Structure 1
Amino acid sequence: MTGSRVLGSGSALPSRVVTNAELAARVDTSDEWIVERTGIRQRHIAGEGETTSSLATAAARAALDDAGIEASDIDLIILATATPDNTFPASATKVQHALGCNGGIAFDVHAVCSGFLYALTTADSLLATGSASRALVIGAETFSRILDWEDRTTCVLFGDGAGAVVLEAPDAANPASKGGPGVLASRLHADGAQHDLLFVDGGPSTTQTVGHLRMKGREVFRHAVANLSSVLYEVIEDAGISAEDIDWIVPHQANKRILDATAKKLGIAPEKVIVTVDSHANTSAASVPLAFDVARRDGRIKSGDLVMFEAMGGGFTWGASLVRI
């Protein structure tokens, strides 16, 4: 039994904004080139004292405030990130300590851009079994710390930020499957054979360095459209609905062309797709909860709406979740 309910959401962004024009002064690119190929106009970049855990903590506090509950009510924290503060311990434990709710479950999930979907599905399962009653599910990244700022094909694509949701255990008296709020269906996948298309060329067990992000953009684009379309159909079938029933799609904000191509393949109107890639760029595991929080706070996503989350990232990993808000 699944169907954990979303009680609130929050997000956090570094204070520094870097425009395309600023990047064009550093590498051989232009605002027109970046916008045409990605839809990105600016991104937020973490400064001194801003870390993955500090952004995650700020987003978590905003989500708790939105949900109207105290940190002491949380007994599960799952933080999705590919850029933790330290190799260990988990950055989730730093968030837990900062919030003052020590003693519950806290761990990181590493599935890159799909991380939030992996974390959400894991939290939903743990809440359904009674292992916890309320969870903070967070996506937070400081990808600026693993970028090669001389590689114009990758440094223009990414930004830093965090997003969070508060989940509560399923309500047996008002389950999502009967029209109540909650997670209706989720699917997750991975394909390690595609490792070399999107990866970081470093790590403690190989180079003893952090390394830099490397990507073969055209191949990633092709796989993204195919994989995301496929997993969305799987979740739609599992939930017993049609694509027309979906009120909003909140996708991973990697590239505007991927968002457009996926929506077109599913026959979903572009107006139903939440887009924040223009102002946030690709924030990896943070992008889905960050976009969701933006759309909730500006009034587009409302109580009762059917919302589809979807993402694909390095690994490759990909997944989707359908949630009634």
Structure 2
Amino acid sequence: MMSIPATGPASTSAYRSHITAIGTYVPERRLTNDDLANMVDTSDEWIVPRTGIRERRISGENEYTSHLCIKAAQNLIDRYNVDLRDVDLLLVCTSTPDFTFPATACLVQTHFGMAQTTAIDLSAACAGFVYGLHLADGMISSGLHRKALIIGAETLSKITDYTDRTTCILFGDGAGAVLVERDDSPSSRPSFLAYTGGSDGSGGAHLYKTFTASSLNGIPLQDSGKLVQNGREVYKFAVQTVPKGVAELTGLAGIEAADVDWFIPHSANLRIIESVCEKTGIPLERTLHTIERYGNTSAATIPLALDEGVREGRIQEGDTVLLFGFGGGFVYGGLLLHWRALD
């Protein structure tokens, strides 16, 4: 396994950024374990011990990733009474865009009337949301942008093979959006404390969806047009990489794992989360996830869990929050945040 590079504190310029609003959306349709048992050879008794998942949300036939993005952003607007028309950077983090082009971000941009917005789709699988936050912080702290909307959204049900019981039990649909804005006050404490991330492309053939290529790293691919995953290899990657990344982040910030108030890892599988918690020493009780009700929603899992922590009043002003995404690529990314209360 490759070593994790030390990337240093996240914000070092005269400008600082912080999260000012959050919103989420999940489709109405629930797909339970019992529903899946009517589709493939599986059962609730088989799924829950192995994954922790009991149900997941499924988008409608004509409901696509852009629709989920728009509804998550509208939820943000409704809750925090913000105006998105002056957003100057829009990043939609997704592996399931509506189209190859135009970008899903462009569809969101035109819906909300963002006239002067750099609109980009970011493809980093389950690390996408963390990558998006890191890029937004860099763009804002450099002075290039002032207000960024970051959305993690997926309609994985549309690329899931519902004849493959090893993968169809895992995935669901959802979206989460956050607003990141420049803080011009020189006396304010930075919100983005440290970042680490990277990739190991040698693992790409363990989690993929084909497009035009028929092989990867010399390995023939299944040309099904659906998501293909080697769960054992993904598990190995996660339980080796995430604890190293957590240690890297806390070391960069000069804190211990015990100082982390809330840990929000990608909700891939409850067994992975439990193993990571055991290796890092972060108690499961201080870990936020949505795996039981939403399954693996890739780039959406972290914002969904973050929002749940905010709405339930668990994440409070001044808390240290550690986000860590990992997934297809292989890619990984972790952020350490000093949480500021949302108005």
In the other structure, the counterpart of 1:195 is 204
Instruction: Indicate how the Cα distance of structure 1 residues 73 and 210 shifts in structure 2: closer, same or farther if over 3 A, else same.
Output: farther
In the other structure, the counterpart of 1:173 is 186
The Cα RMSD (Å) is 1.5
In structure 1, C-alpha distance between the alignment counterparts of 2:115 and 2:152, rounded to whole Å: 20
SS in 1 for 2:243: helix
In structure 1, C-alpha distance between the alignment counterparts of 2:189 and 2:75, rounded to whole Å: 25
SS in 1 for 2:197: strand
Q: How far 1:172 sits from its partner (Å)?
A: 4.2
Kindly indicate whether residue 270 of structure 2 is the aligned counterpart of residue 256 of structure 1: yes
In the other structure, the counterpart of 1:112 is 125
| TM value normalised by structure 1 | 0.94
In the other structure, the counterpart of 1:63 is 76
In structure 2, C-alpha distance between the alignment counterparts of 1:174 and 1:203, rounded to whole Å: 49
In structure 2, C-alpha distance between the alignment counterparts of 1:224 and 1:174, rounded to whole Å: 38
In structure 2, C-alpha distance between the alignment counterparts of 1:204 and 1:150, rounded to whole Å: 23
Kindly indicate whether residue 130 of structure 2 is the aligned counterpart of residue 121 of structure 1: no
Residue by residue, what CA displacement relative to the aligned partner does 1:272-294 show, whole Å, maximum 9, x if unpaired? 00021000000000110111111
Kindly indicate whether residue 331 of structure 2 is the aligned counterpart of residue 322 of structure 1: no
In structure 1, C-alpha distance between the alignment counterparts of 2:163 and 2:180, rounded to whole Å: 40
Contact 2:266 2:289 in 1 (8 A): no
SS in 1 for 2:85: helix
Q: How far 1:31 sits from its partner (Å)?
A: 0.4
In structure 2, C-alpha distance between the alignment counterparts of 1:136 and 1:18, rounded to whole Å: 30
Kindly indicate whether residue 148 of structure 2 is the aligned counterpart of residue 135 of structure 1: yes
In the other structure, the counterpart of 2:230 is 216
Q: 2:89 aligns with which of 76, 90, 103?
A: 76
| TM value normalised by structure 2 | 0.90
Kindly indicate whether residue 74 of structure 2 is the aligned counterpart of residue 51 of structure 1: no
Q: How far 1:48 sits from its partner (Å)?
A: 2.5
Q: How far 1:102 sits from its partner (Å)?
A: 2.6
Q: How far 1:40 sits from its partner (Å)?
A: 0.2
Q: How far 1:204 sits from its partner (Å)?
A: 4.1
Residue by residue, what CA displacement relative to the aligned partner does 1:92-137 show, whole Å, maximum 9, x if unpaired? 1111111111321110100000011111101110011121111111
Q: How far 1:64 sits from its partner (Å)?
A: 3.1
Question: Match for 1:268: what amino acid?
Answer: I
Alignment of 1:224-235 (within 5 A): 224-235=238-249
Higher helix proportion: 1
In the other structure, the counterpart of 1:289 is 303
Q: How far 1:66 sits from its partner (Å)?
A: 3.4
Instruction: Indicate how the Cα distance of structure 1 residues 238 and 36 shifts in structure 2: closer, same or farther if over 3 A, else same.
Output: same
In structure 2, C-alpha distance between the alignment counterparts of 1:280 and 1:111, rounded to whole Å: 20
In structure 2, C-alpha distance between the alignment counterparts of 1:224 and 1:176, rounded to whole Å: 32
Question: Match for 1:108: what amino acid?
Answer: D
The alignment of Structure 1 onto Structure 2 pairs a total of residues equal to: 319
SS in 1 for 2:321: strand
In structure 2, C-alpha distance between the alignment counterparts of 1:57 and 1:48, rounded to whole Å: 17
In structure 2, C-alpha distance between the alignment counterparts of 1:168 and 1:140, rounded to whole Å: 20
**Which stretch has the larger CA shift, 39-48 or 101-110?**
101-110
Identity %: 44
Q: How far 1:143 sits from its partner (Å)?
A: 0.4
In structure 1, C-alpha distance between the alignment counterparts of 2:199 and 2:309, rounded to whole Å: 28
In the other structure, the counterpart of 1:35 is 48
SS in 2 for 1:127: helix
Kindly indicate whether residue 299 of structure 2 is the aligned counterpart of residue 299 of structure 1: no
**Which stretch has the larger CA shift, 63-72 or 94-103?**
63-72
Q: How far 1:171 sits from its partner (Å)?
A: 4.0
Kindly indicate whether residue 110 of structure 2 is the aligned counterpart of residue 97 of structure 1: yes
Contact 1:309 1:321 in 2 (8 A): yes
Q: How far 1:49 sits from its partner (Å)?
A: 2.7
